[in-house]
């Protein structure tokens, strides 16, 4: 055997020598190099790949759920809006997030981190190959600038998501050759602030993107302005955000509120006049459902109705209570959680039940499935039989991501293990965000009239169309309302404190179950106070929340995955405070 091995090695050495060094330079089979990609066709493919990472598909073996565009885990379940839902044994890592006990070893953080930085890497690939193509003369300068601007927008988005979730993150651009050398601290061990570079990406996009796109889903100047404003609002840099918001609300803006609130969550109303930027979902396109908002397929009723799976992302008692209104059609800003909305907790679907009779904001029944109320065109929500474990996850079901029964088969794809994959886009930024951000600016400037008028735009819109019996579309006259809907505009904001309270409350109502709540609480500095008050009562409803608390100075950020720290070293990537 030894003699054979020596002879084989000599033969191989001779083969390599006789063939020359070119033998060592052959591209691996199945790998596309810069030469193949350095043209418009190749760059278009790279850009599509960068957009594709928005859906969270394939982040890890823990599933796509941590990385979906809706942020339902990080923005809703981590807040007072939603429970993990389903039952105690399904996806326990999600429960760790809900209970604020996630550790650097929790698998969800690593899945999300790798998915976001995969998006960063794909965006950087576009920028690097565009430079190669420009030098080779296979694309024009105008083409190069367009590709780079679009890729920098996407790079800004992925870094933004990482920043709002993990806080102390590394920023990685196209000049980095070895990602393992880029960390989140200076040589002295101080955290590096990634915000300026994230802002620079969106500023570049504003200057170089086309003003508006005819192709839906692709970013343009307006989307970049909105995203830069979002960066400023996250840091509460209100004066920097103001001119961008004014531009987005000005006469030259292409956006306007749709009349029907529900049309922001309806498949046939994707990319409407209110949408500034949204993740594009599609089905029946040959992808076996993979493009059909796969990350949200867990978030359907369990045991019947649409989706067939799996009972996750259930609205909280507290969040539903927030939709109660007073005799003037206004929110119960301070007392909403004193009395629970009547629900069917512990009541079998076959047993009698009478729905809540008090006044409520009509947005509740566009956001939440509850017993006795039409669940789109699926008939009345039957209550307990559509809930996997009511004692664990509560009596309510999500609704905003759900498709109509009439759309099943045409706008859904049942090729996989669930029929929940559908063509409902995720609205990442819509005009309502801009309106409420501008209201915050007005409140900070003590311009209470402007702040009130902006909030009232959304409250007046909320009253236009109500959920109707039988699942029919409301014609605007509310002939057959399913509940006692009463939402009215504010007559005044008597002082600044009241204005801020009303604006923050309107954020919750307008974007309930859309994955924004936790991040708003953090950026306002309200997270510890609001969430600990929430937990104090909510533990009387959900036993697994007993003894849970939100730790100020720690839980505003999720832990950096230990796997990532182990790869690059703790001197390069430093763990967030409180998780060591």
Reported pTM: 0.93
Mean pLDDT of the chain: 92
Q: CA 268 to CA 214: how far, in whole Å?
A: 18
Two tokens at 28? 């691996």
Cα 7 to chain centroid distance, Å, stands at 61
Q: Do the Cβ atoms of 393 and 387 come closer than 8 Å? A: yes
pLDDT digits (tens, 9 = 90+) for 344-385: 999 999 999 999 999 999 999 999 999 999 999 999 999 999
Two tokens at 44? 């278009």
Sign of CA dihedral 509, 510, 511, 512: positive
- Averaged over 47-71, what is the pLDDT? 79
Residues in the chain: 580
- Averaged over 253-259, what is the pLDDT? 98
Contacts of 376 (CB under 8 A, 6+ apart): 306, 399, 402, 403, 404, 405, 471
pLDDT at residue 21 greater than cutoff 80: no
- Averaged over 217-222, what is the pLDDT? 96
Beta strands 312-315 and 82-85, pairing class: antiparallel
pLDDT at residue 56 greater than cutoff 90: no
Alpha-carbon distances of 159 from 163, 201, 440, rounded to whole Å: 6, 10, 24
pLDDT at residue 418 greater than cutoff 90: no
pLDDT at residue 332 greater than cutoff 90: yes
> What share of the chain in percent tops pLDDT 90?
84
Instruction: Supply the angle between the helices 238-249 and 221-234 in degrees, to the nearest 10.
Output: 150
pLDDT digits (tens, 9 = 90+) for 139-155: 999 999 999 999 999 99
Tell me the pLDDT band of 30, cut-offs 50, 70 and 90.
very low
- Averaged over 303-324, what is the pLDDT? 94
For the domain covering 34-209+547-580, report its CATH number: 1.25.40.390
pLDDT at residue 28 greater than cutoff 80: no
How confident is the model at residue 58, as a pLDDT?
A: 55
Two tokens at 440? 């915050």
Tell me the pLDDT band of 159, cut-offs 50, 70 and 90.
very high
Tell me the pLDDT band of 8, cut-offs 50, 70 and 90.
very low
Q: CA 423 to CA 426: how far, in whole Å?
A: 10
Q: CA 414 to CA 561: how far, in whole Å?
A: 34
Sign of CA dihedral 287, 289, 293, 296: negative
pLDDT digits (tens, 9 = 90+) for 79-118: 999 999 999 999 999 999 999 999 999 989 999 999 999 9
Q: Do the Cβ atoms of 373 and 341 come closer than 8 Å? A: no
How confident is the model at residue 312, as a pLDDT?
A: 97
> What share of the chain in percent tops pLDDT 70?
93
- Averaged over 389-406, what is the pLDDT? 97
Task: From 296, 237, 228, 253, select the one nearest 440 (Cα to Cα).
Answer: 237
How confident is the model at residue 415, as a pLDDT?
A: 75
Sorted by where each begins, the domain ranges of the chain are 34-209+547-580
Tell me how crowded residue 327 is: count the other CB atoms within 10 A of its CB: 7
- Averaged over 396-415, what is the pLDDT? 93
How confident is the model at residue 308, as a pLDDT?
A: 80
């Amino acid at each position: 055997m030894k003699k054979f091995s020596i002879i084989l090695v000599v033969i191989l050495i001779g083969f390599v020598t006789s063939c020359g060094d070119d033998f060592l330079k052959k591209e691996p089979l199945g790998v596309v190099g810069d030469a193949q990609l350095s043209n418009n066709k190749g760059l278009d493919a790279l850009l599509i790949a960068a957009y594709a990472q928005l859906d969270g598909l394939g982040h890890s073996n823990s599933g796509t759920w941590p990385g979906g565009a809706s942020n339902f885990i990080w923005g809703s379940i981590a807040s007072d809006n939603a429970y993990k839902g389903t039952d105690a044994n399904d996806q326990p890592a999600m429960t760790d997030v809900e209970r604020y006990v996630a550790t650097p070893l929790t698998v969800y953080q690593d899945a999300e981190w790798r998915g976001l930085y995969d998006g960063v890497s794909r965006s950087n690939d576009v920028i690097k190959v565009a430079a190669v193509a420009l030098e080779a003369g296979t694309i024009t300068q105008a083409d190069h600038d367009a590709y780079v601007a679009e890729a920098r927008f996407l790079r800004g988005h992925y870094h933004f998501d990482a920043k709002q979730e993990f806080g102390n993150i590394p920023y990685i651009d196209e000049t980095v050759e070895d990602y393992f050398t880029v960390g989140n601290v200076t040589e002295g061990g101080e955290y590096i602030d990634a915000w300026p570079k994230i802002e620079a990406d969106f500023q570049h996009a504003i200057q170089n993107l086309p003003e508006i796109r005819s192709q839906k889903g692709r970013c343009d100047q307006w989307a970049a302005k909105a995203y830069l404003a979002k960066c400023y609002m996250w840091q509460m840099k209100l004066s920097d955000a103001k001119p961008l918001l004014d531009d987005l609300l000005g006469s030259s803006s292409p956006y306007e509120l749709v009349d029907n609130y529900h049309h922001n969550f309806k498949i046939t109303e994707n990319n409407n006049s209110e949408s500034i930027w949204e993740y594009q979902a599609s089905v029946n396109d040959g992808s076996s459902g993979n493009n059909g908002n796969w990350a949200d397929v867990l978030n359907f009723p369990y045991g019947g109705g649409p989706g067939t799976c799996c009972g996750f992302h259930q609205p909280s008692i507290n969040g539903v209570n927030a939709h109660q209104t007073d005799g003037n059609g206004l929110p119960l800003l301070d007392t909403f959680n004193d009395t629970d909305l009547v629900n069917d907790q512990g009541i079998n679907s076959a047993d009698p039940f009478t729905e809540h009779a008090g006044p409520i904001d009509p947005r509740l029944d566009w956001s939440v499935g509850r017993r006795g109320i039409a669940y789109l065109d699926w008939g009345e929500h039957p209550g307990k039989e559509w809930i996997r474990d009511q004692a664990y996850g509560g009596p309510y079901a999500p609704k905003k991501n759900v498709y109509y029964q009439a759309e099943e088969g045409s706008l859904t794809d049942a090729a996989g293990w669930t029929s929940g994959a559908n063509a409902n886009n995720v609205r990442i930024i819509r005009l309502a965000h801009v309106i409420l951000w501008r209201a915050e600016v007005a409140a900070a400037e003590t311009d209470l009239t402007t702040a009130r008028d902006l909030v009232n735009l959304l409250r007046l819109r909320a009253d236009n169309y109500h959920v109707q019996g039988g699942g029919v579309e409301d014609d605007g006259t509310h002939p057959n309302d399913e509940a006692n809907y009463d939402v009215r505009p504010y007559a005044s904001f008597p002082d600044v404190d009241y204005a801020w309270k009303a604006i923050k409350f309107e954020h919750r109502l307008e974007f309930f179950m859309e994955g924004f709540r936790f991040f708003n609480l953090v950026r306002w500095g309200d997270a510890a106070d609001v969430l600990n008050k929430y937990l104090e009562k909510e533990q009387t409803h959900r036993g697994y929340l007993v003894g849970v608390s939100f730790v100020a100075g720690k839980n505003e950020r999720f832990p950096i995955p230990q796997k990532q720290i182990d790869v690059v070293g703790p001197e390069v990537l430093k763990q967030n405070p409180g998780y060591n």
